[in-house]
């Protein structure tokens, strides 16, 4: 009797990021300022002491090593409306 074939689960696919995209990472919202091998991100909360962070290694390395969520423009507008109320 042959052993059942094991099928590895597909890794979670994260979208590639482009300059101007907004992500949520470590509980903060960041705008992508630069892509490529040296990526940089700007904090959307100007009152936060951590204003930017960078990642060296490119998009695939970033996607594999960071747990982030891409925030769509619609979600971002909704959050801004809630903050303004």
Residue-level pLDDT at 53: 95
For residue 72, how many other CB atoms are within 10 A of its CB?
11
Residue-level pLDDT at 27: 93
Residue-level pLDDT at 21: 94
DSSP string, the chain: -PPPPP-PPPPPP-PPP-TT-EEEETTEEEEEEE-SSEEEEEES-TTSS--EEEEES-HHHHHHH--EEEEPHHHHHHHHHHHH-
Residue-level pLDDT at 50: 94
Confidence band of 11 (pLDDT split at 50, 70, 90): very low
State pTM to two decimals.
0.71
pLDDT in tens, 22-57: 999 999 999 999 999 999 999 999 999 999 999 999
């Amino acid at each position: 009797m042959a052993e059942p074939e094991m099928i590895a689960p597909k890794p979670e696919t994260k979208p590639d990021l482009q300059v101007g995209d907004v992500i949520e990472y470590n509980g903060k919202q960041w705008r992508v300022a630069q892509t490529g091998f040296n990526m940089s991100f700007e904090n959307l909360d100007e009152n936060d002491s951590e204003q930017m962070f960078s990642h060296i290694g490119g998009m695939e390395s970033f996607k594999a090593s960071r747990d982030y969520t891409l925030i769509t423009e619609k979600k971002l507008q909704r959050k801004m409306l809630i903050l303004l109320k």
